Each structure stands twice: as structure tokens, then as C-alpha cells.
């Protein structure tokens, strides 16, 4: 019998995406299926999600889910896997982004929007739905980030059906920086017993943290790379939650993200002008020319850097504008696609205006363009200050767009620096540097440009990256093993 897992997430491709969480939550069902695990995804009913439901079927209704009426709709993901959508119009039927309004401010009722998601998950997993007289329970709940964090807390402190309904849970940290902290006033409205207002419960610094609620109460905690799993034991990366991570000891696991090798395959990618494999790398040049044209850059055989990113401090995007003059000075060019902090958007756009024909910036979000950039750029810049896993370096490896990365988190775990030993052994896949500041990034750019001009070495690096297997094969098996260890 397949193990039935309920994945509780606020994003999943292709339905709704603001970042990497969506890629991972969207890929998990297919990644787990070969291991005898049936993953059902539970998503909030944002307008973007509701629109995709074809003939939605209501399979359950709450009169009051934390004070609001809600229905559960059944649907299917693109791959045919089961999807549940929490249709609670008072919480989700609004214009704007999943977490913020049109002005970019957090929705004031985010505590309720995502506590309701957790409450619904605990009810569903505990068997609130009854089919032919039989409660439809799940074997395990897998919650993601702070938005899913209340599910383990409800399963622990207020399971549906009492102790009978206790279902084991896992929480995955995709980003420790977002902790879902709210004032103490929300506690009485969560429907939890007083015992939950405690060190082992949801209380955190005099308020409620949805992420802490999950970390303290899930049976296992995972994060998305082994290095980040170690880093979050320190205060720099743990961001206040390091003590709890240390206390959870061996229940904390680092499982690397995989990539969806069907959507990210340069040999068969409809977004590219020219498909190619590592055996036909010479065809890549057509994509580079197309990218230059798309961004209005001068045609050149020099290195073309790309960056595809949320524009935030995490991603080191405050350092990139500072280093632009240097990048251009050593013969490089850059095309950037991203959105986020308005100050960073301006700084980068100003940089592009200073270097016409050499630097192109597109502010916005564009999935197909991100593919064209991986397929036409020579190297992808990822100067993150912290990076739980990172996906764009994995896409870069698959596309022969050599990753130039800060040595942190999953970037440290997935890229082999082209140091003399790795070059001699013929196993380098990219460039790593330590510390995110002008000097370190400028030095990494110098090293990359020098490598680029050694055509033989560069091609070797590209091909090594393209040979790497960062599909979900190994990580799917690791999640399945973890689930089984908790349900045995
Ligand atoms: N403007 C744009 N246009 C088109 N596509 C864009 C884009 N900006 C970003 N993207 C895409 O969004 C995704 C971002 O992935 P990252 O791994 O960098 O995640 P992020 O920091 O959002 O997520 C967190 O969760 C993920 C998943 O666990 C971790 O890998 C990561 O380290 C952690 O910070 C990639 O698919 C990228 O191509």
C-alpha cells in the first residue's frame, strides 16, 4: 500500500510561484511516486489557483475554520497527482501576491491565512473527510516553511479526533529568514490549548512564530542541503532559531533539492532557439546571440554573465551593482532578470543605463526568459549571503551555464570549484568564492574570465556540470526513507 502523505504548502508550480519553494513542492509528488509514496498537495485557494481548477468538486466544508467558512476542493496537479485546494474566500480571494498586497506590504491577517491552512491540514490528515463511512486519513503530513508550520503544532496540541488523530509530521525549512512572527494577541484565536503557549509550543519572543511552531512540533525537521543543515546551528544562519535546531539534534536532516529534468533539459526545451546537449555544445552559440539581441547587447565572443534572482540582500544583489564597472572593465557583459527590493531594482537599472550594449536588466518575472538565459549565458552569478539550497545553480549546471557562487549552503554542496586540484583532476564544475563583498566578487569574476578564455578548460567545466545528476532520484529516495522511519 502506498504511503499517503499530505504536503502542506503555500506555493507549487505550475499553479502559484514566488520562489524556489514552488519548484520543490511542485516536484515532490512525482519525485516520491517511484518510492511508493502518494503525495497529495494542499494549497490555499488564491485566485490564481482557483482559476486553474477545472470543474472543482467540493469534498468537505468547514462552518468555521478559525472563524471563517471554508471548503475543500479536489483537483489534480499537471502530472495527475491529487491536489486539495482550501477555498476560504475571506482569506485568499483577493488581488495581490500570496503574502503581500499591491503595495508590497504583508497582509495584516497572514497569521490567520496560514494558521487556517495548518488547521485544515491537521483536520484532513486526521480523517475529517469520510468516504463510504470510512475516515480518509493520511499517514504523514509534510509541511513547508512558516506558511505550513502550524500543521505540526495542531497535530501535536489539538489533533482532529483526539489522540486517535495524531499523525506524524515533517517540516522543511526552505528559508530560515522568514519566520512568520505575530503578536501575542493572535494566540487565543488559534484554537490551541494553553499548553501550546510554551517553549515547546508556538510561543517565540513573546509572540507566535509559525515557523517555530513547526520546528518544535514536527517529528523531523529537514532543510534543503546538508551544509545549510549545519549552518543553521549557528546564530548567523539560525537567525534566532539555532538553539531549537541544536536541541532537535538528530531529528534535523539536510536533503538536497532536485530539479525537474523534464522542464529543465537543454536537449528538449521549447524556450530555446537551439536545443543542445553536452555533445553538441557548439549549438549553444545561437542561444547566446538570441539573448544578446533580446537585451540589446553588442554581439561579442567575450563572456556573457547572467543573473536570475529575487532582488534581495540574501541574494547579494546589493553588491552586484557595485561590481558592474569592474565586470565590464574586464570584458564581461551581464544580463539580469529579477524583481524585489525597489532600491536594488533602481541600482541595477542605473547600472544598465551606464553600460549600454554591455549590461541589460529586465525587472520582472519571466519563466521562459529564465530558460533562455540559462541556455545562452556563459556563466550564472549567484553571490548569495545564505542559500538553503539554490536551484538556479542546478539549472546552470544542467545548461552548461557555469555557476559562479558564494561558498554557502547548497551552493557549497553542488558546485565543485575550479581550483588547481579540481582542474588537474578534471572535475571542476564552477567557481566558488568566500564572503559576499566587492573584493571577493571582483576576484571571482577575474578568475571566471581567465578560465573562460582557456577554451579547453571552460568546455570541460561546462561538460562536467552537464553530466551531474541533480534530478530528484536520490533526494526522492531520501524523503521516502525519512517518511518510512516516522511511520513504521
Ligand atoms: N525574475 C524571475 N523570473 C523567472 N524566474 C525567476 C525569477 N527570479 C527567480 N526565479 C526562479 O525562482 C526560483 C528561485 O529558486 P531559488 O532556489 O533561488 O529560491 P528562493 O530563494 O526563492 O527559495 C528558497 O527555497 C528554495 C527551495 O528549497 C531553495 O533552493 C533556496 O535556497 C531558498 O532560498 C528558480 O526557479 C528561479 O529560476
ipTM for the assembly = 0.99
Q: How far are the Cα atoms of 28, 180, 216 from residue 151, in angstroms, in the given order?
A: 18, 14, 11
pLDDT at 72: 98
Largest CA distance in the chain: 72
Pick the CATH number of 266-467 from 1.10.287.1080, 3.40.50.2000, 3.40.47.10, 3.40.50.1580: 3.40.50.2000
Give the residue ranges of DSSP H helices in 59-207.
Answer: 89-92, 110-126, 145-148, 150-157
SS3 category, 306: strand
Report CA(183)–ligand 1 centroid distance (Å).
29
Q: Which atom of ligand 1 has the smallest separation from the CA of 395? A: 38
- Is the C-beta atom of 24 inside 6 A of ligand 1? yes
Residues 97/103/108/110 CA torsion (nearest 10 deg): 20
- Is the C-beta atom of 273 inside 6 A of ligand 1? no
Q: How far are the Cα atoms of 63, 326, 367, 461 from residue 415, in angstroms, in the given order?
A: 51, 24, 23, 11
pLDDT at 202: 98
- Residue with CA closest to ligand 1 atom 2: 365
CATH homologous superfamily of 3-258+472-487 equals Glycogen Phosphorylase B; (3.40.50.2000)
Mean pLDDT per segment of 10 residues, for the chain of length 488 residues? 96 94 96 98 97 91 97 92 97 94 93 98 96 94 98 97 85 97 98 96 97 98 98 97 98 97 95 98 98 97 97 97 98 97 96 97 96 98 98 98 98 98 98 98 98 98 98 97 96
- Residue with CA closest to ligand 1 atom 13: 20
Report CA(376)–ligand 1 centroid distance (Å).
19
Domain ranges of the chain: 3-258+472-487, 266-467
- Residue with CA closest to ligand 1 atom 15: 20
CB atoms within 10 A of CB 341: 17
- Residue with CA closest to ligand 1 atom 19: 20
- Is the C-beta atom of 143 inside 6 A of ligand 1? no
Probe target for ligand 1 pocket from 97, 390, 399, 479, with the most ligand atoms within 8 Å of CB = 390
Report CA(431)–ligand 1 centroid distance (Å).
20
Return the H-helix or E-strand segment holding 406. strand 402-406
Q: Which atom of ligand 1 has the smallest separation from the CA of 22? A: 27
pLDDT at 165: 63
Report CA(390)–ligand 1 centroid distance (Å).
7
Q: Which atom of ligand 1 has the smallest separation from the CA of 391? A: 17
pLDDT at 161: 83
Report CA(338)–ligand 1 centroid distance (Å).
10
Report CA(24)–ligand 1 centroid distance (Å).
10
- Residue with CA closest to ligand 1 atom 14: 20
Report CA(374)–ligand 1 centroid distance (Å).
14
Q: Is 131 annotated as a binding-site member?
A: no
**Equal CATH topology for 3-258+472-487 and 266-467:** yes
Contact 302, 333 (CB under 8 A): yes
- Is the C-beta atom of 392 inside 6 A of ligand 1? yes
- Is the C-beta atom of 387 inside 6 A of ligand 1? yes
- Is the C-beta atom of 365 inside 6 A of ligand 1? yes
Report CA(110)–ligand 1 centroid distance (Å).
22
Contact 464, 253 (CB under 8 A): no
- Residue with CA closest to ligand 1 atom 9: 309
Contact 256, 224 (CB under 8 A): yes
Integer Rg of the chain from CA: 23
Q: Which atom of ligand 1 has the smallest separation from the CA of 228? A: 32
Report CA(113)–ligand 1 centroid distance (Å).
23
Amino acid at each position: 500500500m502506498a504511503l499517503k502523505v499530505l504536503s502542506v504548502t503555500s506555493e507549487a508550480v505550475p499553479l502559484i510561484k514566488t520562489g524556489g519553494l514552488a519548484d520543490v513542492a511542485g516536484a515532490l509528488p512525482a519525485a516520491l511516486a517511484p518510492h511508493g509514496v502518494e503525495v497529495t498537495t494542499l494549497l490555499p485557494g488564491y485566485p490564481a489557483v482557483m482559476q486553474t481548477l477545472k470543474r472543482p468538486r467540493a469534498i468537505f466544508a468547514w462552518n468555521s475554520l478559525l472563524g471563517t467558512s471554508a471548503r475543500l476542493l479536489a483537483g489534480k496537479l499537471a502530472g495527475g497527482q491529487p491536489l486539495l485546494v482550501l477555498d476560504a474566500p475571506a482569506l485568499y480571494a483577493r488581488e495581490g501576491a500570496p503574502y503581500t498586497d499591491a503595495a508590497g506590504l504583508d497582509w495584516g491577517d497572514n497569521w490567520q491565512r496560514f494558521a487556517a491552512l495548518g488547521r485544515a491540514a491537521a483536520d484532513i490528515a486526521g480523517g475529517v473527510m469520510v468516504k463510504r463511512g470510512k475516515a480518509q486519513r493520511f499517514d504523514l503530513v509534510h509541511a513547508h516553511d512558516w506558511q505550513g508550520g502550524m500543521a505540526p503544532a495542531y497535530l501535536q496540541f489539538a489533533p482532529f479526533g483526539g489522540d486517535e488523530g495524531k499523525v506524524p509530521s515533517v517540516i522543511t525549512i526552505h528559508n530560515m529568514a522568514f519566520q512568520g512572527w505575530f503578536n501575542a494577541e493572535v494566540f487565543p484565536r488559534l484554537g490551541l490549548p494553553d499548553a501550546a503557549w510554551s517553549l515547546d509550543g508556538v510561543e517565540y519572543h513573546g509572540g507566535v512564530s509559525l515557523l517555530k511552531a513547526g520546528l518544535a512540533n514536527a517529528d523531523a525537521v529537514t532543510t534543503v542541503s546538508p551544509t545549510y543543515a549545519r549552518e543553521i546551528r549557528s546564530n548567523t544562519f539560525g537567525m534566532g532559531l539555532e538553539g531549537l535546531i541544536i536541541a532537535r539534534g538528530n531529528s534535523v536532516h539536510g536533503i538536497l533539492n532536485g530539479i525537474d529534468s523534464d522542464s529543465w533539459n537543454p536537449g528538449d526545451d521549447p524556450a530555446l532557439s537551439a536545443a543542445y546537449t553536452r555533445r553538441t555544445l557548439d549549438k549553444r552559440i545561437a542561444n547566446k546571440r538570441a539573448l544578446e539581441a533580446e537585451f540589446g547587447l553588442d554581439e561579442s565572443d567575450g563572456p556573457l554573465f547572467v543573473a536570475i534572482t529575487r532582488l534581495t540582500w540574501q541574494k547579494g544583489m546589493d553588491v552586484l551593482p557595485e561590481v558592474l564597472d569592474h565586470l565590464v572593465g574586464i570584458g564581461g557583459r551581464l544580463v539580469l532578470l529579477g524583481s524585489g527590493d525597489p532600491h536594488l531594482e533602481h541600482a541595477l537599472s542605473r547600472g544598465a543605463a551606464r553600460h549600454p550594449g554591455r549590461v541589460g536588466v529586465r525587472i520582472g518575472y519571466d519563466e521562459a526568459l529564465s530558460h533562455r538565459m540559462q541556455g545562452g549565458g556563459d556563466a550564472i552569478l549567484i553571490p548569495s549571503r545564505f542559500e538553503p539550497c539554490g536551484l538556479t545553480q542546478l539549472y546552470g549546471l544542467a545548461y552548461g551555464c557555469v555557476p559562479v557562487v558564494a561558498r554557502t549552503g547548497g551552493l557549497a554542496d553542488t558546485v565543485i570549484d575550479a581550483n588547481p586540484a579540481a582542474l588537474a583532476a578534471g572535475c571542476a564544475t564552477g567557481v566558488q568564492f568566500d564572503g559576499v563583498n566587492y573584493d571577493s566578487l571582483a576576484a571571482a569574476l577575474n578568475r571566471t574570465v581567465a578560465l573562460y578564455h582557456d577554451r579547453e578548460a571552460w568546455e570541460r567545466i561546462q561538460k562536467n556540470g552537464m553530466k551531474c545528476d541533480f534530478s530528484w532520484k536520490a533526494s526522492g529516495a531520501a524523503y521516502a526513507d525519512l517518511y518510512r522511519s516516522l511511520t513504521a
